[in-house]
Structure 1
Amino acid sequence: MTDKCMRSPAEKGSANSSRIKIISFIAVIVVAFLMRMLSYASLTADGGITFTGYDEFYHMRRILYTVSSFPHILNFDTYINYPYGFEIGWPPLFDLLGALLAIILGGGHPDMHTVEFAGALLPVLLGVLTLIPVYMVATSVFDRKTGLLGAFIFAVLPAHVYISRFGAVDHHVAEVLLSTAAYAFFILALKLAGESKLSLNSLKNIASDKKLLNPLVFAAASGLFFSLLVFTWVGAPALISFVVLYALVQATLDLKAGKGSDYLFVCSAVTLFATLLFTIPLSAGAARPGLEMSAMYLSWFQVVYVLILLAGLFFLWGFSAYVSKKGMDWKYYPGVLILVFGSGLLFLRLFSVEYYAFVIEGLRFFSGKGEYIGTISEAVPLFLTSQGKFTLSSVIGSFGLSFLTALAGFFLFSLELKGEKLKPEGVFFLVWTLFYAYLALSQRRFTYLFAINISILTAYIMWVLMDSLDFGKEIKKLVKSGKKTENNSESTFKTGQKTVSRTKSKSKARHVAESRSTDEGSDYFKLVSGVALIGLVFVPSIWLGAAFSKDAVSIGPEWEDSLKWLEASTPATSYYLEPSETPEYGVLSWWDYGNWIVYVGKRPVVANNFQTGVDDSARFFITDSEEEAKTIVEKLNVKYVITDTLMAEGKFSAIAEIAGKNIGDYYEVKTTNENTGLTTVATPKQALLQSEIYKLHKLDGTSLGNFRLIHESTINSTENESSKIDTVKIFEYVPGATLTGTASPNQAVMATLELSSNTGRKFTYQKGEMADENGSFEITVPYSTENTGNGVHATSAYSLTAGDNSTIATIQVTENDILDGNIIKVKNS
């Protein structure tokens, strides 16, 4: 007989169960992949590939650079923070992976489309891979069925779908994968250490007892993933620190229970030591010159930081042993350690201001505080709007209704963690959840990290509820009932046949006996309740996740059209793929759009999404003085200024805040009681009308002497105030031609020019000056009367009027006059 025939029913059942679980997990992977690929259609609609967000465009710039110079990464870029350049703080692993994927897909020599496709696909692949550590965590803390359901929920949870969808080329998805893998292996190490009774004394028998080796291997694997996280995200030290925080909590609980903590400290020490060993070569290869320490760049700071964590861990270990040996009250342990931590901060403050600043700035960052962080919409608290009002939109948009189920799961799991159920892996998961909840509540962007815990806790509570409803049994009843009906139908065709076999008779009798329990029928209340529970969790998540994916394009057609025009119609700048030298000129816009301009427009920018150049940018757009505006652009060698409707409206408050101004000086805000409820109305004040951004975008720069409109994306929004279409305008800074002449003393002189934009919109340029007491006047104008082919062109000559609009002269101005800053003497007609 074959082995297959000799298998017992239990073995066959186990094999079938394993096969079903494998098939189910493959199905979860397929669902996760499809959810994240829903954005493919919208991002490739024009034949190319568009990317989501803002940082994604700079990641693509680094991936493009790395492909051309693999394995070297772009660390200093003269195309941002123009004209000074900027050292990039992002660690390189994510962009290296993108470049490597492009090289593989392109057979060693990928074209532009292949590079962009690889960059867009990378987050999908990393997102799907994250299902593995999610399953590992849930299975280790709970059981396999919770692991499978948790992975399924995670596959469709909007918070993670958002950062891992096709085109979301950002390192956040790698943060989730690597941190979850590190925590998953650490949990496995703790679990196996407990099962094998790992202690310092037992390590002597490690050669003969191989079970003792397993937790150490998993702890080392955890350290490897932590080091890769360091190579991916500058915030990695905070997530590594959690190991020490957990060790403090677990050691306290062990002391309270009278248990030893060797297993805990051995696993933690191995993890941190492995992190240190793997981080040293990574830091050595990418660290800044010398021994400079910086938390914002890959440097020796990360190595020293892990060393400090190791020292802190050994202190926890030694003090735990001391408290246990002396039989002291367990409460002394956390109390003394908190006191030591406070003293350590004071020591840093007194003897190392630099490291103290790193710690404080890190705490401020993760709590949503910082110089510019308040102007970033994704950095506001989870339950607050940017105006500080309570909202549920962010939490629902990130988790659907899973947040509520996970909250219930958290409290139930907390209540269950007592006595023998108070296992280290459970405590770790509980404290981990609290840690990530704090991050997400402080800054809504960290919901992508919290998605791990939300998914697992939701799966846990769902199984608890399903079991209480006997949902599985009711499904089996329903299936058996269907089979029975089918068998009865088939038997009607065999009424003439008689059963004479005794074996068959016994089988039939057994079947009848077993099916009596199902004769009562399924409990449809339980079935409907179970289906409703599944629907409440999955339907909102799938719907929101699909909405995120389908509506993935962030750069609007107005911006894309304008930036492609900028690339094609303005003088090309040098060193784009070798940004070691300063390019010929820069572009000034608000920092939100800097990465778009660099990648799509291929031009250097003053301000970009690293908040470089943001102070100069804010001062330029807020000033009411054209002379100050000129001083800024000349200092920065700016040739073009790009504005959009949001800068003149919604983003203006952020511009004012960074410029050190009060938004109340620019808008009068009133709340009125309308029929539909309370309505807030913001009325512009004179200060807003005098700002450079208003003069440029709302008034087309028609009163300015050195800035001229050269391209606009759509019909000017000032012609249709109710229009929600974003308008992008590109202005050129020019020396301008100066019209000089004489009029009556102290008389107003006005230069007027009729213009047509590239969209065919007609507008009028008017610049006025007062003649001095001798009657002399000078008016600097930015437009020529020639048609230069840029789209925006004059449809008349300049008309100079004085006093009561009497015409002094009609003047033609050439393009050379404008670009060379010529003086044109006006002869009165």
Structure 2
Amino acid sequence: MSRLKSRLAIISGLALIAVGAVAVRFLHLLPGDHYYILSVDSYFFFWMAEKIVAGEAAPMTWHSGLAYPLAYLANLITFVTGIPPSDALTIACKSLPPVLGVISVIVIYLAGQAIYGRRVGIFAAFTMAFLPHAYFIQAAGYVDRDGLSTLLIMIGAFAFYLLKAWKWRIGKLNVGWLLGGILVAAIGELVFRQWVWVGRWLLLFIVAVFFVSLLGKGFLRSGGTRSSGDRVAEEGPEAEPDAGPASGGDSERFLRGVVARGATAVKESPWRLFLVVIGLSGLFELAGGGLRAFISRAAWSTETIAQALPDIESIFQALPGIETVAPALPEVEARIAFEMPIAELQGLSVFDVLGSYQVFLIPLAIGLVIAFLKRRDGDLFCLSWFLGLLILSLTAQRILITAIPAVCILCGVGLDFVFKARSSRAVFRYPQAFVAVGLIYALLISSSWGAYNLGDSPRMAPHEDWQSALTYLRESTAEDAVVMSWWDYGYWILALGERRPVVDGGFYGWTEEKLQDIGLAYVTSDPSEIVAIMEKYGADYFVFSWMEMDIFPAIARAAFSGREYIPSTDFLVIKNPLYLHFLRGDFRVKGPLEVAYRNPGVVILRERPADSPP
């Protein structure tokens, strides 16, 4: 009976956590001040899903993200309910990411329970439900690839850990390692299908770092150093008597000892499972063209960066005299490091870590300390996963998303310690309980508040002004119209405006030349220069907003990059940009440009017809 009650308590707790996970992922829809789709790239996958639902061929692109699952779910909803496909797709976009969140919560619980026990599993599931980094990538309307790719990668990584000692025999032959390796490699192939080679390589990186840490642990242990007891008793031959360091300068004996310790470490490790995973993944990669895609992408990235590097020093030398760009603009610090306009290539900062984990940094720190001190297999697994990806993310911050499962397990360890800690003196027990409950309360409040404000930033999702402008483009312009804007808004124009952008995050893409030209359109005071740029790229409209004020220094750097003939220290170049005047609406428009649409936050310009009076 007690076992039944325990199981019911676990199921009830897990169900409550799942409900909380769904609720927190829908909170950002309550304010109603922004479009429901979150993040720039989500709009591209939404646009792809629209094409698939409409029966059109999916456009060729690097990866499809959630486009196909969204489209198939929308078609199923339409088939069952009979509602229009557009409404069904909206429901799919709002519901699929939170469903992935619930599945992730269950997977995290099962993994945490298998590695550390039920208490840690429950606390890890709680973390997965309410961790800001986790609920963001699985929030309603976040239809970028991260929610599904992180789920698949965690399943693959947990499968490797849990199957490392699995034995399944055919007669006397153990083939558990073979079946386990096939399973992990197959999961890697699913990640590849959803996120090309990057996802599979991240999974292999997690597996490889853990395998190396196991070798290191085995090597040190065979020399006489033992870590705290693991959850599952380890088996393996004792170290050779001569495996210790040499004495008396006997280098040959020392080398034999090192080799013996290394051989023992390899023998105790899941080396067969590891080789199967690596070997099959390599075959899948070659057969699927992943290597060709990587080489092609690497060549493109190298060329793009190489084009930018020669200009960086000259930009820094040219811009120190620019303190302000207009009386109404905030002071601009010109000496900001050059940034490639790709999120994956931006480095990790302290503020990124604080924003991703917030109050969860407390249980995470406790879990890290415990894992470092005990160094059990499960500890090594989570430490190598988290720290390995943390180091990689120093040059590409988005990689840290893939560390979410390890963070959840470590937080589970930390929270379990907080709730288990009991002083031998009664006077301290109530304060300890108060601190533990207060920590949970703080985690819930901070996460709920952050989730509610997910769409608060107008760069995360278009607010009313941008939605109205996109409606104008969709309903009041020609279907073949081309729209010029800063690259950040290209996918909005593509998905919601239903028009072709000059630049975007990847489908129509961008080049240094295009960013330089569009940047010049922002900083110039000559309307004919804007018209010339629009004609160069066949653009019918130029869209801009007050949002660019926050990134105006970066836009100005793009404009000045590689343009020796522009005196970048001449204040007239940037002190009175037409961009700012058009936004203010504080002068009568003259010359070759006219306002096609304007609201308090967004302006759409077009070339004035030749027969129209200025």
3-state SS, counterpart of residue 102 of structure 1:
helix
Match of 1:732 in 2: 606
Match of 1:68 in 2: 54
1:22 aligns with 2:11: yes
3-state SS, counterpart of residue 39 of structure 2:
coil
Percent of aligned positions that are identical: 19
Query: Which of the residues 544, 548, 559 maps onto 1:643?
Result: 544
Residue 184 of structure 1 deviates from its aligned partner by 0.9
Map of 1:554-703 to 2, 5 A cutoff?
554-571=461-478, 573=479, 584-610=480-506, 611-612=509-510, 613-647=514-548, 649-661=549-561, 685-694=571-580, 696-698=582-584, 702=588
The superposition leaves residues 459-496 of structure 1 with CA deviations (integer Å, 9 ceiling, x where unpaired) of 2122123222279xx9xxxxxxxxxxxxxxxxxxxxxx
Match of 2:353 in 1: 395
Residue 178 of structure 1 deviates from its aligned partner by 1.1
CA distance in 1, matches of 2:553, 2:369: 41
CA distance in 2, matches of 1:143, 1:618: 56
Map of 1:121-200 to 2, 5 A cutoff?
121-190=95-164, 192-193=165-166, 196=167
Which AA in structure 2 matches 1:182?
A: G
Which AA in structure 2 matches 1:564?
A: T
TM-score between both structures, scaled by the size of structure 2:
0.76
- Greater RCO, CA 8 A, separation 6+: 2
Residue 539 of structure 1 deviates from its aligned partner by 3.4
1:116 aligns with 2:111: no
Match of 1:248 in 2: 212
Match of 1:53 in 2: 39
The structure whose Rg is larger is: 1
**Structure 2 gap ranges (5+):** 223-260, 310-336
CA distance in 1, matches of 2:283, 2:590: 61
Q: Which has the higher helix share?
A: 2
CA distance in 2, matches of 1:255, 1:451: 29
8 Å contact kept, 2:372–2:379:
no
Which AA in structure 1 matches 2:542?
A: V
3-state SS, counterpart of residue 170 of structure 1:
coil
Map of 1:338-357 to 2, 5 A cutoff?
none
Closer, same or farther: CA 701–563 of 1 in aligned 2, 3 Å: farther
The superposition leaves residues 173-222 of structure 1 with CA deviations (integer Å, 9 ceiling, x where unpaired) of 112111111111111122x24xx5xxxxxxxx931258x44444333222
8 Å contact kept, 1:39–1:167:
no
Which AA in structure 2 matches 1:253?
A: K
CA distance in 1, matches of 2:159, 2:423: 33
Query: Which of the residues 349, 352, 367 maps onto 1:383?
Result: 349
Map of 1:103-502 to 2, 5 A cutoff?
103-107=75-79, 110-190=84-164, 192-193=165-166, 196=167, 206-208=169-171, 212-234=174-196, 235-242=198-205, 243-256=207-220, 257=222, 258=261, 259-262=264-267, 263-276=269-282, 283=288, 293-295=292-294, 373-375=339-341, 380-383=346-349, 392=351, 394-417=352-375, 421=376, 423=377, 425-469=378-422
CA distance in 2, matches of 1:50, 1:166: 7
8 Å contact kept, 2:382–2:410:
no
CA distance in 1, matches of 2:300, 2:343: 29
Query: Number of matched residues?
Result: 530
Closer, same or farther: CA 273–702 of 1 in aligned 2, 3 Å: farther
Closer, same or farther: CA 139–549 of 1 in aligned 2, 3 Å: farther
1:705 aligns with 2:591: yes
**Structure 1 gap ranges (5+):** 1-11, 76-87, 197-204, 302-352, 365-370, 385-391, 475-519, 574-583, 669-683, 715-726, 738-782, 785-797, 799-829
Which AA in structure 1 matches 2:472?
A: W
TM-score between both structures, scaled by the size of structure 1:
0.58
Residue 543 of structure 1 deviates from its aligned partner by 3.2
8 Å contact kept, 1:592–1:608:
yes
3-state SS, counterpart of residue 391 of structure 2:
helix
3-state SS, counterpart of residue 500 of structure 2:
coil
Which AA in structure 2 matches 1:94?
A: L
Which AA in structure 1 matches 2:28?
A: S
The superposition leaves residues 247-291 of structure 1 with CA deviations (integer Å, 9 ceiling, x where unpaired) of 33433433343324254221112223443566677x37xx8xxxx
- Superposition RMSD on alpha carbons, in Å? 3.7
CA distance in 2, matches of 1:660, 1:630: 18
Query: Which of the residues 525, 529, 532 maps onto 2:431?
Result: 525
Which AA in structure 2 matches 1:293?
A: R
CA distance in 2, matches of 1:593, 1:176: 26
8 Å contact kept, 2:27–2:448:
no
3-state SS, counterpart of residue 136 of structure 2:
helix
8 Å contact kept, 1:165–1:549:
no
CA distance in 1, matches of 2:172, 2:422: 45
